[in-house]
Amino acid sequence: MPIINAEARAAGALILSKMRMFNEAVVFMEQTLGPALSKGFDICIGKFIKENQWIGKVAMENDTCWIAPNRWKNDDGGSRAWFEIHWHESGEKDYWLATLTGNGTESGEFGFLFDLDRNSFGGKSFNQYAKSIKSADVERLEKLGFNSLGKGKFFLPLHLDGELLAQCWQEYGEFPHDDDVFGPLRYALNVLAESVPIFDQILQDAP
């Protein structure tokens, strides 16, 4: 049996003594706050897709979000490469809202991941090519805020301010897509658009 330290015992005792409050909080977050924030994400990203004539599918409540410029589209309606919502170095312990606001119990980050269909770019040989991607291209992506995860994958962190989310909910009882709370998301989407020519070059040089 694992040894439970004093901090864990205190936390457990607090939860058990305030069970109704904690239960109501969890239910409210899962059934109300989470879906409301997902809706704001969906509308904000959907608006970006339409305005930039991109392709993609966005349904945050179903953990689905991928977008790509139209020229990356393949013959079956999908995409040869794309940006997708991703939890980097995060397990399944934390709610996505906690990771998004930097309040998770783990050190994971929330953001956009660039990935691709390796079969469209040489299959297994792409992983070897990824090791030799031009340093100049990697540096340009890093200046935009991307982190290289290896194997041709690049991650752009996204963080929303928990206090602004609280203020937004207090004022509207929802998360309007055009509110300042989504400023970092709109900025990240613009960074994705700015990064496309760099990724175009990387894909062009692939096997």
Summarize pLDDT for 7-30 with one digit per residue, the tens: 888 988 988 899 999 899 889 999
The angle, 0 to 180 degrees and rounded to 10, between the axes of the packed helices 19-28 and 6-17 is 80
Portion of the chain with pLDDT greater than 70, in percent:
96
pLDDT of residue 106: 82
Evaluate if pTM is beyond 0.85. Answer: yes
- pLDDT tens track for 121-154: 877 788 788 888 889 999 999 999 999 998 899 9
Residues contacting residue 130 through CB under 8 Å, at least 6 positions apart: 150, 151, 152
User: What integer is the mean pLDDT of 103-123?
Assistant: 88
Q: Which pLDDT does position 56 carry in this prediction?
A: 95
Average pLDDT, the chain: 91
Of 129, 122, 48, 38, residue with least CA distance to 83: 48
> Band of the pLDDT at 2, cuts 50, 70, 90?
low
Domain spans, the chain: 40-204
Phi-psi bin for 107: left (phi > 0), alpha (psi -120 to 50), beta?
A: alpha
